Amino acid sequence: MQKVLGGCKLCGKPMQTNRSPLIHRTCDACKDEQLRQSNRRLTVRRKAKRHAIKAALKPPQCQRCGKAIEGAHMLTPNGQWVRKFCGTRCRQAAFQARNVPGRRLRPDMLTSEQALETAKAVAQAERDKAP
């Protein structure tokens, strides 16, 4: 082991090398800093991209009543709005519309499958309420 001439490439901190002392090396602290910087740049770039996608899209409309959805600021990675309905009422109405045939058959009985679906819808509605 010998000393790297000039030390760390970036901060000049003395470094050891098992190769030529002329090969410049970067110390761990500087490497960490480089990683942090590149992560930060990546985050900024991703954020800008997200904003550009959002700006290019029209505000989402409720799939049931067509009203613009307020507070729909979230996008999934494929550019879809997270929210499809303006509120719990439209979501439930759409859910019920999809499930009418099953309900007509046995209006007074809730099968375990339907109970499960209802529970899922309620859970989804709860998630929708959260910001």
The answer to whether 72 contacts Zn ion (rule: CB under 5 A) is no
Q: What does the block give as tokens for 80?
A: 């879809």
Output the CA torsion sign for 59, 64, 67, 70: negative
Contact positions with Zn ion (CB under 5 A) in 36-65: 62, 64-65
Return d(Cα 90, Cα 54) in angstroms, integer. Answer: 24
- The 3-state DSSP class for residue 52 equals helix
The answer to whether 15 contacts Zn ion (rule: CB under 5 A) is no
As measured in angstroms, the least distance from the Cβ of 22 to Zn ion is 17
Half-sphere exposure of 54 (CA within 13 A, CB side): 15
Binding mask 75-114 for Zn ion (x = CB under 5 A): -----------x---x------------------------
Q: Which residues bind Zn ion (CB under 5 A)?
A: 8, 10-11, 13, 27, 30, 62, 64-65, 67, 86, 90
